[in-house]
Amino acid sequence: MTQPLYLKAYGKVNLGLDVIRRREDGYHEVRMIMQTVKLYDRIILERNHSGRITLRTNLPYLPVNEKNLVYRAIDIIRREYGITDGVSASIIKRIPVAAGMAGGSTDAAAAFVGMNQLFALNITQEKLMEYGVSLGADIPYCIMRGTALSEGIGEILTPLPPVPSCWFLIVKPGFSMSTKFVYEHLTLDAQTKHPDIDGMIDALNRQDLTGVTDRLGNVLEQVTKQHFPAIDELKAIMLQNGALGSLMSGSGPTVFGIFTSREQAEQAARACRKHPAVRQTSVVRPFNKTVHTKSAAHHAYM
């Protein structure tokens, strides 16, 4: 037995999400600007002599077998490196489930990083990201974290300068959206309003927060808000309460706003909580990587 390893699995939002086209293989080609935020799940890993993987969660409806991405991430590393020791894992969820924040993907990313540490395997980040993409397109980004341009089906990643200092209000309504459903019902035509991804990259390079918030855009909103008008209503509440910009993240239904002060974000959170659809609010900072050493990458998970 060893000491348990405690890891923070941070969620993400999309500052910009553009869908270029539907590919022949059924996947969609995207250009997205991803941002890690300091809303996190806690992953606890412990090695033992059982020879098995055991999984526990604080949410009774989450699977605790091979249907769970954390279980599968642990299993991949055990098989690849001939590990016979058992691993017990606990997932304490705080990131909303099925909400466009990569909650399952970031938990799996933390499991890959944690297994690397727990068994002192010295796997490079690049190799961990290769294992990650075999389970899901968002997992390599969740291993890398920070601010990044995501292309292809989400697996081609380019680090970007960090988002300038700000606060995020993250609001999860009490309904969920299937990513598969949203993409299946997405129409790309001459009327599609595409976000200015290149302009946002330029604003990040100039560290111009307003330049970023003026360009927030997500082509998937057109599908989700047809079914849930609360998305537009929550965006309006945030803008009325001082948000520089507001957007739905991923396929939704989570909505976020960007603020210059915590006080404004908290005020907007109080206003949003009066909306009958709202189930969860969080005011958090963005997670930005300041150093790129291997040890820093490990400590960032603690």
Active-site residues, by number, are 12, 138
Residue 114 assigned as binding residue: no
Compute the residue count for the chain: 302
The residue type of 129 is M
Alpha helices in the chain (DSSP H): 69-80, 103-118, 125-133, 139-144, 179-184, 197-205, 209-213, 221-227, 230-240, 262-273, 294-299
Alpha helices in 81-151 (DSSP H): 103-118, 125-133, 139-144
Residue 101 assigned as binding residue: yes
- Specify which residues 149 forms β-bridges with: 33, 158
Alpha-carbon gap, residue 233 to 225, rounded angstroms: 10
In the chain the first and final C-alpha atoms are separated, in Å, by 20
Residue 102 assigned as binding residue: yes
The single-letter DSSP state of residue 169 is: E
- Specify which residues 218 forms β-bridges with: 17
Residue 97 assigned as binding residue: yes
- If one counts every other C-beta atom within 10 angstroms of the C-beta of residue 122, the result is 9
Residue 152 assigned as binding residue: no
Residue 32 assigned as binding residue: no
Residue 276 assigned as binding residue: no
Residue 99 assigned as binding residue: yes
**Quick check: 149 and 33 in contact, CB under 8 A?**
yes
**Quick check: 286 and 167 in contact, CB under 8 A?**
no
Alpha-carbon gap, residue 190 to 3, rounded angstroms: 57
Alpha-carbon gap, residue 127 to 79, rounded angstroms: 15
* Annotated binding-site residue numbers for ATP: 96-106
* Annotated binding-site residue numbers: 96-106
